[in-house]
């Protein structure tokens, strides 16, 4: 019989947290925390609040699915992004270490500059282009320093049926407009929150009770299989939705590919967001299906929500 854990989940209302909560319950008792429980944006009190919460709940696993993810707004709110993405994870790592717990944390492809020609491996040099990417990198570094029993999972282009994301925005616009313009020169792997949740739970089932000397602790890339551009992603999702009977207005040939330069935003994005998943697949035997499978799954879930 596997050990029953006490799991403290931060960011339970987010895309990944929402997908994680029911799956983590298979490992033990989950305490789901939202901003109402601990305000990770309040730098003055967050360390004490996290430490008090950990002391009260005495978890064996901390999972941080909370983040400041407004990539463009972070350029004008760097201190807030730093607090949520770097200082709070560091405080969680300190508390986890003191409590003898392990910590799972989610990071991003945006820690890279996108100039590599092939997919990034975990050991490649980082060089974030944005405030968001830089703060997420500092969060990784703070965790690695403070808590040896950690899993840091870099993912990309996250979407799900819960919360706001690119997929849901494209579906909304496709039902309202006659034409769309979508960036086609940034490449990555759209990754479903459900896939992240399933993979994270499987990894924890394997290592949560392991000592710090277990070589499986550490940094991993966790993304869906395959690759596409934002334009390819939008075209696939809209065509699939049309086939499923959604009232799509925009025609396939009216979804125009554009360059990053033609769609100016505050924060720079990496042109190459591809992440190599060989390490996580070899270490944990994970099945990471093509990104289209996740899109199909979410479209079905959204359709069920509309008809229920």
Indicate which residue of 68, 110, 132, 220 is catalytic.
132
Q: What is the CA radius of gyration of the chain?
A: 19
Half-sphere exposure of residue 171: CA atoms within 13 angstroms, side-chain side: 24
CA–CA distance, 286 with 14 (Å, rounded to integer): 23
Are residues 24 and 30 in contact, defined by beta-carbon separation less than 8 angstroms?
yes
**Does the active-site annotation cover 110?**
no
The DSSP bridge pattern shows strands 191-192 and 158-159 to be parallel
Beta-bridge partner residues of 33: 10
210's CB contacts (< 8 A; 6+ apart) are: 149, 216, 217
Burial 245-263 (b: 16+ CB within 10 A, else e): ebebebeeeebebeeeeee
- φ, ψ for residue 223, nearest 5 deg: -140, 165
Q: Provide, for the chain, the percentages of residues in helix, strand and coil under a 3-state DSSP scheme, each rounded to the nearest 5.
A: 45, 20, 40
**Where in the sequence numbering do the catalytic residues fall?**
132
């Amino acid at each position: 019989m596997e050990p029953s854990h006490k799991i403290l989940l931060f960011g339970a209302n987010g895309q990944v947290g929402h997908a994680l909560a029911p799956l983590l319950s298979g490992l033990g008792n989950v305490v789901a925390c939202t901003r109402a429980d601990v305000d990770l944006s309040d730098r003055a009190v967050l360390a004490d609040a996290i430490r008090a919460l950990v002391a009260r709940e005495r978890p064996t696993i901390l999972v941080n699915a909370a983040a400041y993810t407004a990539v463009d707004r972070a350029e004008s709110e760097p201190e807030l992004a730093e607090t949520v993405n770097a200082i709070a994870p560091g405080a969680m790592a300190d508390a986890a270490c003191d409590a003898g717990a392990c910590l799972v944390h989610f990071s991003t492809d945006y820690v890279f500059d996108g100039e590599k020609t092939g997919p990034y491996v975990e050991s490649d040099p980082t060089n974030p282009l944005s405030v968001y990417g830089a703060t997420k990198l500092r969060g990784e570094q703070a965790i690695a320093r403070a808590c040896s029993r950690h899993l840091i999972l870099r993912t990309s282009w996250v979407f799900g049926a819960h919360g706001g994301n690119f997929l849901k925005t494209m579906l909304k616009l496709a039902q309202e407009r006659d034409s769309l313009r979508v960036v086609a020169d940034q490449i990555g792997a759209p990754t479903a929150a459900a896939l992240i949740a399933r993979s994270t739970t499987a990894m924890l089932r394997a290592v949560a009770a392991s000592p710090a000397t277990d070589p499986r602790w550490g940094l991993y890339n966790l993304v869906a299989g395959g690759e596409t551009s934002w334009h390819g992603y939008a075209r696939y999702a809209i065509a699939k939705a049309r086939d499923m009977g959604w009232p799509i207005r925009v025609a396939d040939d009216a979804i125009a590919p554009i360059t990053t330069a033609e769609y100016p935003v505050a924060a720079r994005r990496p042109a190459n967001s591809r992440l190599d998943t060989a390490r996580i697949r070899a270490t944990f035997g994970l099945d990471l299906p093509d990104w289209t499978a996740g899109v199909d799954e979410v479209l079905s879930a959204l359709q069920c929500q509309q008809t229920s």
